Amino acid sequence: MDYLKLKEFLIMTELNSLTIKQAKEGLIKREFSSFDLTEACLAQIEKVDKKINAFIKPIAPTYDDVVSAARKADKLLSSNQDLPLLGIPIAVKDNFSTMGIRTTASSKVLDDYIPPYDATVVKKLKDAGAVLIGKTNMDAWAHGSSTETSDYGSTKNPWNTKHLPGGSSGGSAAAVAADEAIAAIGSETAGSIRQPASWCGVVGLKPTYGRVSRYGVIAMASSLDSPGPITKTVEDSALLLRVLAGTDEFDATTSLPPVGDYTLPVVDNKIKNLKIGISDEYFIDGIDKEVESAVRLSIEKLEKMGAKIVKINLVKPKYATSVYTIIQRSEVSSNLARYDGVRFGKDRKLFGEEAKRRIVLGTYSLSSGYYNQYYNRAAKARSLIVNDFEKAFEKVNVILGPTSPSLPLHAGASENAAMFGEIADILVEPSSIAGLPGINIPIGFSKSMLPIGMQIIGRQFAEDLVLQVAHQYEMATANENWRKKRPNL
Amino acid sequence: MKYTPVIGLEVHVELKTKSKMFCRCSADYFGKKPNTHTCPVCLGLPGALPVPNKKAIEWCIMLGYALNCEIPPFSRFDRKNYFYPDLPKGYQISQYDQPFAVDGEVFIKQEPNSQNKEKKIDVRRVHMEEDTGKLIHEGDLTLIDFNRSGVPLVEIVTEPDFVNPFEVTEYLKSLKQIVRYLGISNADMEKGEMRLEPNISLRKEGEKRPSYKVEVKNINSFKFVERAIEFELARQREILDKGETPVQETRGFIEKTQSTVSQRIKEEASDYRYFPEPDIPPFRWTDEQRNNWKTEVKNLLEEARKNSPKEKANFYVGLGVSNASGASISASKYRTQVFEAVIKENILPKEQLGKFGNFLANKPEEKIDQNLVPNLTKQLINQFKSSTTTADIDDKELDKAIELVLRENETAVSDYKRGKENAIMFLVGQVMHNFPQKIDASKVKASLLAKIK
């Protein structure tokens, strides 16, 4: 079979549309090789990425490197090596340092930066046998919720390329939705995993702050950044989290609680008598009607499955937005100081509008005389939000709500909208501020065929419960018609 | 007009931990090839994170206890944001409002003619931070060596309690001694392991506090600190006498001219935009942890004081060693080691220890390995024994030699009789010259004295 024929064949077999779990089964049963699987993803990238631009070009690592990693995985597979991600092609957001592979965080300032070390997450993926298939596009420095602020062109929503994929992990979410990778890694400061997952119709998990190491992740807001998986199913999310989670000797903020086996089979009665908190404050004024009714319908489904729906009152999300904005901008202004052009990277004038705005605002809020008025007050308000959630979790096991107040917005919507991200992420900011785990799961489509997502939030380190609830919902709705839809690219 | 000097001190001490403050690179950077002790963390590469060095923090707290500080149960690191090419992250990890140690005091000796023997100097705070890289200027080029970047630094800040350079030097001597007793730094000024920054102003009579403050940087010896303070006091007095106020500024000390020059004018405190370091969780110490450190410091200081040169010298003098020899032995690690070995192992009878001590005190200093001490001690004991073994001589022969020497050296004899005591040793030497073998000098001296009287 010549190469072109092989590619056609691979696209036909749709190996690239498999989940991690399905791909693993196929690899172990020798139905196909990691090489086949990887080639299928590469073929899909070649076919569709010019339309959605989920990867930063030129795609790094090179074709030869990707293929040789797949072949290496095949060798290990043939000697019956059992690694959790052996031979699985995974895309990684471009703010994760990859040794010897260009890492730009979508900013031209780092256009020629090649890290001499791997982020802990990348090292864990490699150790687990994964094949790094490419670095995905993002908002520059992760500043945004649209992937439109990338210096390498914006990413488009695979379900409708006239719409935004969300961000900042828009490239990772789009790559998974478009079956360009079996799974992807994103990072969230407040919304950057869940919101693009919602807009692209995939599963995105933001773990508890400190559950997954930040070492090697180009810092956005250090007290909030949380790396996590973006996948096709909740099961895959659990599988990836198990690989990524854990204390890291290179990150002092990683936490001690032992890593759970998030992949354990789900006990059937998890939903029965589960107390699910719903806060009216999360169905904010101006929420998209289709989003609201889809989420309310999902709540009814959960109720039918035996869950108890409990009304709770949470602090209005808009207060979290203020707190988040000040803390995040302050930390950004300090974190970006090292890009002074003295030792590596390019001139500072290559910083985009958004980064410059954040540096100025953050510098201002930390200045003497303003520190107490802004940063200090925000830090105090932050602990109020933490307490607010703690109180809520005395009454309920998980909290549920829409992930985004809107459907994916039109391309160009973020231009000249300085607070675009903060508004798009208003419903994920409170839990981010509190460092809580949360997951987005797709629950259907709008009439215009755009994805709708729902989020489930748990108390700190309750990833296992959050994943189990999400998984059971996914299982119970597995046969709903909308799940059969594929992006038409 | 009468003025009172108001002087405070900031001292930076580099800790001698094996690794740097926030990464695992070796902290032993002095004289190493540039940029060989570096990693993503101390180079400030994107994504790298600081992980604090436990030992360094413990040492900082122990120094706090040694300076009689309070150790607050809660503490944290902060970011001090400023741009300088030797600062790779664009901020220094330091401590702002929650340092590891606060409110200490040190008692220092005062000038010999002052009323009180001791003076209390208040220590405002002791905090932990990281050192910067080093800029090397070569012609038009400026090179950066990051080997020093991230080396643990402790900053000790006093209240402006000093009124003269003597007090400052006394404080510095005692601080250096404490640091060495704790074994946390060699405080070698020439290697930059201890850096001094006095802030100096003059208070007019009736004034509560001066309206300005001058900081002097780049000082690397106690002597120069004295010079800098003397120079500044004179310079400021001259300005004040003219009815003007000295400029609030940072000045540098120039060794060549022994004077200070303006470096940077400070209108007000620089805005470092301090905020809590989000990459390092804050610290909460238990009472048990703090009590353990406190006890450890107490034991270390007691042990060190017992072993201090002064205490040792006194002990040696008690064994019959002369004052000068006692000081000479205790000042040298090598001589101390030998002498302690001789005492401990009962190598010599007690009554000979004094003589051996005096003999040892005149031996040249040597740098030796601990393992070589037993051998060297053996050699020195042999030398000592042969130097003290004397041949027996016939009394008549001695008398004859003495008479001869007395006849030939009448001047020396009369010098001695007039009170010039040294003259007797000259005569002893002359007598001993008459014998080919080594004879007992004390016996010669006794016979000589008997004859002269």
The confidence score (pLDDT) of residue B383 equals 81
What average pLDDT does range B165-175 have in this prediction?
A: 95
**B414-420 long-range CB contacts below 8 Å, 24 or more apart?**
B416/B452, B417/B452
- Classify the C-alpha dihedral B331-B334-B335-B337 as positive or negative: positive
Cis, peptide link before residue A58, omega less than 30° from 0: yes
**A47-97 pLDDT, tens digit each:** 999 999 999 999 999 999 999 999 999 999 999 999 999 999 999 999 999
Given this model, what pLDDT does residue B325 score?
A: 87
Note whether B279 contacts A337, CB cutoff 8 Å: no
Asked if residue A7 has pLDDT above 70, the reply is: no
CB atoms within 10 A of CB B14: 25
Contacts of B89 in chain A (CB under 8 A): 337-338
Instruction: Search chain B and give the residue with CA nearest A333.
Output: B81
Is A338's CB within 8 Å of B44's CB?
yes
B275 touches chain A (CB under 8 A): yes
- CB nearest A222 (choices: B51, B269, B279): B279
pLDDT score of B305: 85
Region A444-452 average pLDDT: 98
Q: What is the pLDDT of residue B297?
A: 97
For residues B339-344, average pLDDT: 86
Distances (CA, A) of A138 to A61, A95, A199, A450, B413: 17, 8, 14, 20, 103
Using the beta-carbon criterion (under 8 Å), do B43 and A252 form an inter-chain contact?
A: no
Across the interface, whether the CB atoms of A116 and B44 are under 8 A apart is answered no
Catalytic site residue from A154, A169, A192, A330? A192
SS3 for B265? strand
Per residue in B197-252, pLDDT tens? 999 999 998 888 898 999 999 798 999 999 999 999 999 999 999 999 999 999 99
One-letter amino acid identity for A390?
Answer: E
Q: Give the residue from chain A lying closest to B146, CA to CA.
A: A343
Interface test with A, best of B19, B24, B273 (most A CBs within 10 A): B273
Interface residue A217 vs chain B (CB under 8 A)? yes
Q: What is the pLDDT of residues A365-424, one digit of tens each?
A: 999 888 889 999 999 999 999 999 999 999 999 999 999 999 999 998 887 777 777 777
- Give the least confident one: A225-229, B50-54, B124-128, B255-259: B255-259
Which chain B residue lies closest to A214 (C-alpha atoms)? B47
- CB contact under 8 Å between B89 and A110, yes or no, is no
The minimum CA-CA distance between A142 and chain B, rounded to whole Å, is 13
Is the pLDDT at A310 greater than 90? The verdict is yes
Quick check: B88 and A119 CB within 8 A?
no
Mean pLDDT of A228-238: 97
**Stretch among A295-299, B280-284, B326-330 having the lowest mean pLDDT:** B326-330
Whether B273 and A217 lie within 8 Å, measured CB to CB: no
Number of residues that this document lists for chain B: 453
Contact call for A363 and B269, based on CB within 8 A? no
Identify the band that residue B265 occupies on the pLDDT scale cut at 50, 70 and 90.
Answer: confident
Domain boundaries, chain B: 3-287, 307-388, 395-452
Q: Which residues on B lie below 8 Å from A367 (Cβ)?
A: 271, 273
B18: enclosing H helix or E strand = none
Q: Does B112 contact chain A (CB < 8 Å)?
A: no
Q: CA-nearest residue of chain B to A332?
A: B278
Q: Is the CB of A337 less than 8 angstroms away from the CB of B278?
A: no
Does A367 sit within 8 Å of B47, measured CB to CB? no
Distance CA A73, CA A86 (A): 6
pLDDT of B453 over the 80 cut: no
The answer to whether residues A328 and A221 touch, using CB atoms and an 8 Å cutoff, is: yes
Highest mean pLDDT among A306-315, A417-426, B303-312, B326-335: A306-315
Distance CA B116, CA B355 (A): 40
Residue pair B42/B150 in contact by the 8 Å Cβ criterion: yes
Q: For residue B269, what pLDDT band results from cuts at 50, 70 and 90?
A: low
- A window 66-95, beta carbon within 8 A of B: 95
Q: What is the pLDDT of residue A267?
A: 60
Which of A218, A340, A363 lies closest to B273 in CB terms? Answer: A363
Among A158-162, A410-414, B82-86, B122-126, the range scoring the smallest mean pLDDT is A410-414
A370–B contact, CB cutoff 8 A:
no
Task: Please give the pLDDT value at position B283.
Answer: 97
Is residue A1 predicted with pLDDT exceeding 60?
Answer: no
Residue B407 confidence class, pLDDT cut points 50, 70, 90: confident
pLDDT for the residue A11: 60
Instruction: Please say if the pLDDT value at position B308 is more than 90.
Output: no
Give me the pLDDT at residue A265, please. 63
- Res B214: pLDDT: 95
Secondary-structure breakdown of chain B: helix, strand, coil percentages, each rounded to the nearest 5 = 40, 20, 40
Q: Is the pLDDT of residue B431 over 80?
A: yes
Q: What is the pLDDT of residue A421?
A: 73
Q: If DSSP states are collapsed to H, E and C, what string results for chain A?
A: CCHHHHHHHHHHHCHHHCCHHHHHHHHHCCCCCHHHHHHHHHHHHHHHHHHHCCECCCCCCCHHHHHHHHHHHHHHHHCCCCCCCCCCEEEEECCECECCECCCCCCHHHCCCCCCCCCHHHHHHHHCCCEEEEEECCCHHHCCCCCCCCCCCCCCECCECCECCCCCCHHHHHHHHCCCCCEEEEEECCCCCHHHHHHHCCEEEECCCCCECCCCECCCCCCCCEEEEEECCHHHHHHHHHHHECCECCECCCCCCCCCCCCCCCCHHHCCCCEEEEEHHHCCCCCCHHHHHHHHHHHHHHHHCCCEEEEECCCCHHHHHHHHHHHHHHHHHHHHHHCCCCCCCCCHHHCCHHHHHHHHHHHHHHCCCCCHHHHHHHHHHHHHHHHHHHHHHHHCCEEEEECCCCCCCECCCCCCCCCHHHHHCCCCHHHHHCCCCEEEEEEEECCCCCEEEEEEECCCCCHHHHHHHHHHHHHHCCCCHHHHCCCCC
Q: Which CATH class is domain A11-484?
A: alpha beta
Of the residues A99, A324, A328, A342, the best mutation for testing chain B's interface (the one with the most B CB atoms within 10 Å of its CB) is: A342
Count of C-beta atoms within a 10 Å radius of residue A413: 17
pLDDT digits 0-9 by tens, A245-280: 999 999 999 987 777 777 766 666 678 889 999 999
Tens of pLDDT, residues A117-163 = 999 999 999 999 999 999 999 999 999 999 999 999 999 999 999 99
Q: Would the pLDDT of B194 be above 80?
A: yes
Q: What is the pLDDT of residue B97?
A: 94
Q: Where along chain A do its domains lie? A: 11-484
- Residue B85: list chain A partners with CB under 8 A: 342
Among candidates B46, B48, B51 on the partner chain, residue whose Cβ is nearest the Cβ of A249 = B51
Using the beta-carbon criterion (under 8 Å), do A367 and B273 form an inter-chain contact?
Answer: yes
Q: How far is A362 from chain B (nearest CA, A)?
A: 10
Contacts of B149 by beta carbon, 8 Å cutoff, 6+ apart: B20, B38, B42, B43, B44, B86, B88, B130, B131, B132, B133
Q: Which of A487, A472, A7, A470 is nearest to A229 (CA)?
A: A470
Query: What is the structure's pLDDT at B301?
Result: 94
What pLDDT digit, counting tens, does each position of A150-176 carry?
Answer: 999 999 999 999 999 999 999 999 999
Mean pLDDT (chain A) is 93
A192 is catalytic: yes
Q: What is the pLDDT of residue B428?
A: 85
Confidence of residue A5 (pLDDT cuts 50, 70, 90): low
Q: How many C-beta atoms lie closer than 10 Å to residue A79's C-beta? A: 7
Give the confidence band of B267 by pLDDT, cuts at 50, 70, 90: low
Residue in B44, B271, B278 nearest the CB of A331: B278
The predicted pLDDT at position A425 comes to: 86
Identify all chain A residues contacting B43, using CB atoms and an 8 Å cutoff. Answer: 343
Residue contact A338–B89, C-beta within 8 A: yes
Measured distance CA(A224)–CA(A324) in Å, rounded:
9
The average pLDDT across B253-264 equals: 90
Smallest CA–CA distance from B79 into chain A, residue: A334
Q: Which residues of A touch B45 (CB under 8 A)?
A: 97, 115-117, 344
Residue range A430-457: mean pLDDT, rounded: 97
